[in-house]
């Protein structure tokens, strides 16, 4: 072999370079199976690593680049603490309104009993403790004792009026229909989640079912355990003492409300008109709220992406990454830094792309830093962009949430489709250029790079055929000579070494060397490449992407200082100003595509939810008008939701729409409570105006109690103090805003709207009275 070749003991070419905290490393990714528990897998892997430490040479260190279980455990702990705080606040609200420890003792039995029973149901349903199931538990805590509150308050009211004998039984009977109707209607709101497909339905499946399970259990506890506990703790015994400060304050509030509502119901049309005007204003303000698919999670995962011109060597990309590492070295927020030069992680594989690289930064836990993940991205942006990268781009972004499928690699994507690559690429460049001048958008880049240097070989078929050489022979020979071919393997002990036959890179320095390669021989004479083909220097695309068989170039970007929905709207408006070439189509991808898909599915969920709720109420009330009166307050709650989101700067997303359904259930509960009691008073012969005023006054305390319990119970979740609350904080804020405005809707709007419905004259023989 030495007569015709040089044999070297070498190594496989390093196409990817990785470092961990500045030290060369090899990264090993461990991925759990679909049904496996992340925390358990993480624990088992750590245990195995400890077992392997004694077997590993002392100069080799093991470090953890990323552990998703750390964030999950922190999030579960945070949401668990939030649930405990919520439970304490709910109990304090009950005491603040009732002012007696007897009633609080009843609640202390009803609350844990319902929750423990729900944990049993979660175990049977094989639900794990995660952010969504625990988030559902936090929401459930705020509604779990609503039914018991209504029962205890009614028992207390009857006892204070001197009805000691059988007050527990009689008080429960009076409100049994109302809480049964309200609970069944609330449950019907969640039924569409089991029917309508979509990512949102899949994500919040456990949250919704946890709340539904708690509602069923709370109904059972309220109608059985609560009246029994009320009798045990002598809640049904009239008070023998002077009213305390809380009770006196509430008596004053009740007298003031009676005076106010008596005056307000004289002008029902004005109140309804004011409410509808506020609703119209909320609809007009809704675009200013902004939109997104899912909230950003403050999980401390940041990526610095480096994209260099095609043809850039791995060594040059690695040099730039090392400079970036040096720029961010010593920042107190950073826990670890992992860099990868010459490739890109794509799903389960690492693609070899010499001109790409990334620096993955893991921040310390949220409670150990003052800066959010998004704030850290803004902080290091100017630092890393000062690193020299001739012809390249350096983008800083927050990494996507793991475990949740998301369309695209960045938040906003403009897909340019067509048949002619140069045409769609040129138009995509125009799109990128106008996006760079668009405020609220950053990290603009193209999916296609047409600057890859290459040599193109054009075979002269006639000349090749005359020499007895086929085009296939030319292609295979060139590939084997330039890239090399493993001819065989050499065994030494237990190791096998591949023997690759190739032209040394030092012999191929330009076009002339390529043309001088021998392709074949004829009659003992060599045939070189220049005899059968022409070699031309050119540039071309690194890769060609297709969607639905159409070639496409994607212009990618991220939002900057605005919501994803607002950034998408600005991008759409900017692109609309460009004149499209013939045969070129444009569509939006990224989160915009996901928002559109899930907005459609959530729209179906909301429509079906309200329809099912209306059917259930129509059957229970035997009326078509009163269910509409109760349900109409759900969309009117948009007023409070919009105000709350605007004040907190949170956009409208999937979690907010889940909160709307929860809010609708509570609106229905309070509406049923008031309307059912007003119907009962009308049946007893009381005129309609007096009946609705008396019903509103009598139901004032239970309505305020349940509203306050939910508002204060959700405050810890809305504050998002610990880890894991990012997903559910917008939902809590929306529900709190809707609940605050619900005080007006329930205690002011509903009595006035009740007076305007057909049959308001109050004749006992009317068809409406017969139906209710």
pLDDT in tens, 685-744: 888 899 999 999 988 888 888 888 888 888 888 887 766 667 778 888 999 999 999 999
Residue 221 to residue 152: CA distance in whole angstroms: 12
| Longest Cα–Cα distance in the chain | 124
Mean pLDDT throughout 625-632? Answer: 87
- Residue 644 domain-assigned? yes
The string of pLDDT tens digits covering residues 12-52 is 667 888 999 888 888 888 888 767 777 888 888 888 888 88
Q: What angle do CA 73, 75, 81 make, to 5 degrees?
A: 105
Which of 489, 515, 540 is the endpoint of a domain? Answer: 540
Q: What angle do CA 377, 594, 546 make, to 5 degrees?
A: 95
pLDDT of the residue at 289: 86
Q: Does the pLDDT of residue 310 top 70, yes or no? A: yes
Residues 461, 352: one domain? no
- Residue 6 domain-assigned? no
CB atoms within 10 A of CB 40: 12
Residues 285, 304: one domain? no
Say which CATH number the domain at 494 has. 3.30.2090.10
Mean pLDDT throughout 119-123? Answer: 78
Q: Does the pLDDT of residue 771 top 50, yes or no? A: no
Q: Does the pLDDT of residue 768 top 50, yes or no? A: no
Helix (H) or strand (E) holding 505: none
3-state helix, strand, coil in the chain (%, to 5): 55, 15, 25
Phi first, then psi, for residue 258 (nearest 5°) are: -60, -45
Residues 285, 326: one domain? no
Closest CA to 676 of 628, 637, 634, 626: 626
pLDDT of the residue at 769: 31
Percent of the chain, pLDDT > 90? 12
- Residue 32 domain-assigned? no
Which of 540, 566, 589 is the endpoint of a domain? Answer: 540
Residues 76, 159: one domain? yes
- Residue 347 domain-assigned? yes
In the numeric block, the tokens 């106008």 are attached to 434
Bridge pairing between strands 441-446 and 393-398 = unpaired
Q: Which of 99-108, 465-474, 724-733 has the highest mean pLDDT?
A: 465-474
Residues 285, 322: one domain? no
User: Which distant-in-sequence residues (6+ apart) come within 8 Å of 362 by Cβ?
Assistant: 65, 66, 300, 301, 334, 335, 336, 337, 338
Residue 763 or 337, more confident? 337
User: Which distant-in-sequence residues (6+ apart) come within 8 Å of 358 by Cβ?
Assistant: 303, 304, 305, 306, 321, 339, 340, 344, 345
- Residue 550 domain-assigned? no
Residues 343, 273: one domain? no
Residue 263's pLDDT band, with cuts at 50, 70 and 90, is very high
The string of pLDDT tens digits covering residues 387-435 is 888 888 888 888 877 655 556 677 888 888 888 888 888 888 889 889 8
Residue 701 to residue 676: CA distance in whole angstroms: 16
pLDDT of the residue at 772: 31
Q: Does the pLDDT of residue 186 top 60, yes or no? A: yes
Residues 283, 360: one domain? no
Residue 348 or 45, more confident? 45
Mean pLDDT check: name the lowest of 41-50, 316-325, 659-668. 659-668
- Containing domain of residue 310, as a range? 15-24+300-400
From the number of C-beta atoms within 10 Å of its C-beta (0-12, 13-18, 19+), residue 165 rates as exposed
The string of pLDDT tens digits covering residues 61-76 is 888 888 877 777 776 7
CB atoms within 10 A of CB 755: 21
Q: Does the pLDDT of residue 770 top 60, yes or no? A: no
Which of 400, 431, 462 is the endpoint of a domain? Answer: 400
Number of domains in the chain: 3
Residues 200, 222: one domain? yes
- Residue 274 domain-assigned? yes
Residue 371 to residue 36: CA distance in whole angstroms: 33
Say which CATH number the domain at 354 has. 3.30.70.1430
Residues 484, 632: one domain? no
Q: Does the pLDDT of residue 760 top 50, yes or no? A: no
pLDDT of the residue at 71: 72
pLDDT of the residue at 339: 92
Residues 264, 125: one domain? yes
Cα–Cα distances (Å) from 655 to 202, 296, 646, 658, in that order, read: 12, 12, 16, 5
Percent of the chain, pLDDT > 70? 89
The pTM of this model reads 0.75
Q: Dig out the tokens for 121 from the structure.
A: 């149901």
The string of pLDDT tens digits covering residues 157-166 is 787 776 656 7
- Residue 271 domain-assigned? yes
Across-strand partners of 381? none
Look over the chain and give the mean of its residue pLDDT values, rounded to a whole number: 81
Across-strand partners of 453? 539
Residues 86, 218: one domain? yes
Q: What angle do CA 460, 465, 467 make, to 5 degrees?
A: 100
Residue 113 to residue 422: CA distance in whole angstroms: 68
Helical packing angle, 146-160 and 101-124, nearest 10° = 160
Residues 257, 347: one domain? no
Closest CA to 425 of 453, 445, 450, 451: 450
Q: Does the pLDDT of residue 190 top 50, yes or no? A: yes
- Residue 417 domain-assigned? no
Closest CA to 39 of 124, 131, 118, 171: 131
Q: Does the pLDDT of residue 122 top 70, yes or no? A: yes
pLDDT of the residue at 604: 78
Say which CATH number the domain at 278 has. 1.20.1640.10
The string of pLDDT tens digits covering residues 448-458 is 777 677 788 89
Residue 304's pLDDT band, with cuts at 50, 70 and 90, is very high
Residue 270's pLDDT band, with cuts at 50, 70 and 90, is very high
pLDDT of the residue at 275: 93
pLDDT of the residue at 239: 62
The string of pLDDT tens digits covering residues 206-227 is 777 777 888 888 888 888 888 8
């Amino acid at each position: 072999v030495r007569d015709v070749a040089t044999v070297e003991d070498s190594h496989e070419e390093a196409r990817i370079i990785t470092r961990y905290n500045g030290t060369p490393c090899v990264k090993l990714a461990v991925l759990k199976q679909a049904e496996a528990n992340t925390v358990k897998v993480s624990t088992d892997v750590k245990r195995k690593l400890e077992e392997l430490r004694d077997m590993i040479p002392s100069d080799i260190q093991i470090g953890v680049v990323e552990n998703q279980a750390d964030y999950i455990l922190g999030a579960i702990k945070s949401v668990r603490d939030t649930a405990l705080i919520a439970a304490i606040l709910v109990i304090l609200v009950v005491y603040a309104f009732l002012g007696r420890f007897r009633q609080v003792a009843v609640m202390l039995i009803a609350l844990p009993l319902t929750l423990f029973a729900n944990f049993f149901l979660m175990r049977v349903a094989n639900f794990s403790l995660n952010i969504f199931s625990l988030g559902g538990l936090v929401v459930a805590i705020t509604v779990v004792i609503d039914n018991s509150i209504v029962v205890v308050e009614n028992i207390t009211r009857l006892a204070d009026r001197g009805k000691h004998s059988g007050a527990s039984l009689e008080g429960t009977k009076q409100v049994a229909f109302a809480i049964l109707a309200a609970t069944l209607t609330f449950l019907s709101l969640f039924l569409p989640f089991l029917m309508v497909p979509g990512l949102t339905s899949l994500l919040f499946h456990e949250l919704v079912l946890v709340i539904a399970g708690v509602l069923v259990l709370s109904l059972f506890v309220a109608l059985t355990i609560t009246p029994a506990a009320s009798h045990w703790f002598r809640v049904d015994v009239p008070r023998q003492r002077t009213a305390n400060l809380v009770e006196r304050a509430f008596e004053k509030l009740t007298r003031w409300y009676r005076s106010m509502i008596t005056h307000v119901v004289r002008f029902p049309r004005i109140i309804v008109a004011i409410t509808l005007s506020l609703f119209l204003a909320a609809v007009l303000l809704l675009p200013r709220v902004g939109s997104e698919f899912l909230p950003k999670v403050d999980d401390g995962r940041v990526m610095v992406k480096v994209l260099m011109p095609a043809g850039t060597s791995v060594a040059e990309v690695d040099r730039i990454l090392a400079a970036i590492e040096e720029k961010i070295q010593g920042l107190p927020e950073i826990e670890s830094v992992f860099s990868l030069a010459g490739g890109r992680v794509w799903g389960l594989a690492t693609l070899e792309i010499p001109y790409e690289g990334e620096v993955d930064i893991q921040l310390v836990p949220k409670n150990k830093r003052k800066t959010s993940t998004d704030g850290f991205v803004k902080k290091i942006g100017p630092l890393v962009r000062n690193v020299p990268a001739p012809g390249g781009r350096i983008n800083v972004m927050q990494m996507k949430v793991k475990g949740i499928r998301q369309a695209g690699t960045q938040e906003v994507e403009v897909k340019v489709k067509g048949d002619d690559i140069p045409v769609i690429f040129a138009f995509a460049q125009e799109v990128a250029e106008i996006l760079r001048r668009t405020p609220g958008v950053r990290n603009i880049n193209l999916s296609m790079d047409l600057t890859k240097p290459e040599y193109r070989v054009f075979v002269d078929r006639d000349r090749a055929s005359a020499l007895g050489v086929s085009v296939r022979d030319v292609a295979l020979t060139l590939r084997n000579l330039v890239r090399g071919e493993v001819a065989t393997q050499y065994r030494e002990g237990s190791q096998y070494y591949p023997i690759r036959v190739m032209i040394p890179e030092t012999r191929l320095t330009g076009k002339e060397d390529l043309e001088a390669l021998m392709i074949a021989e004829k009659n003992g004479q060599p045939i070189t490449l220049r005899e059968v083909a022409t070699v031309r220097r050119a540039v071309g695309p690194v890769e060609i992407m297709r969607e639905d068989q159409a070639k496409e170039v994607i212009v990618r970007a991220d939002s900057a200082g605005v919501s994803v929905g607002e950034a998408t709207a600005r991008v759409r408006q900017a692109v609309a100003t460009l004149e499209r070439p013939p045969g070129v189509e444009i569509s939006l991808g990224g989160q915009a595509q996901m928002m559109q898909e899930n907005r459609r599915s959530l729209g179906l969920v909301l429509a079906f939810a309200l329809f099912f709720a209306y059917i259930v109420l129509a059957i229970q009330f035997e009326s078509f008008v009163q269910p509409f009166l109760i349900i109409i307050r759900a969309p009117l709650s948009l007023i409070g939701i919009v105000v709350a989101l605007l004040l907190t700067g949170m956009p409208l997303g999937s979690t907010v729409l889940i909160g709307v359904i929860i809010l609708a259930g509570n609106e229905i509960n309070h509406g049923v409570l008031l309307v059912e009691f007003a119907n009962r008073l009308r049946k007893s012969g009381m005129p309609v105006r007096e009946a609705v005023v008396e019903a509103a006054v009598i139901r004032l305390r239970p309505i305020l109690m349940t509203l306050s319990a939910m508002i204060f119970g959700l405050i810890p979740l809305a504050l998002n103090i610990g880890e894991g609350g990012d997903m559910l904080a917008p939902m809590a804020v929306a529900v709190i805003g809707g609940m605050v405005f619900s005080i007006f809707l329930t205690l002011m709007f509903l009595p006035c709207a009740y007076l305007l419905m057909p049959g308001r004259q109050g004749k006992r023989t009317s068809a409406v009275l017969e139906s209710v």
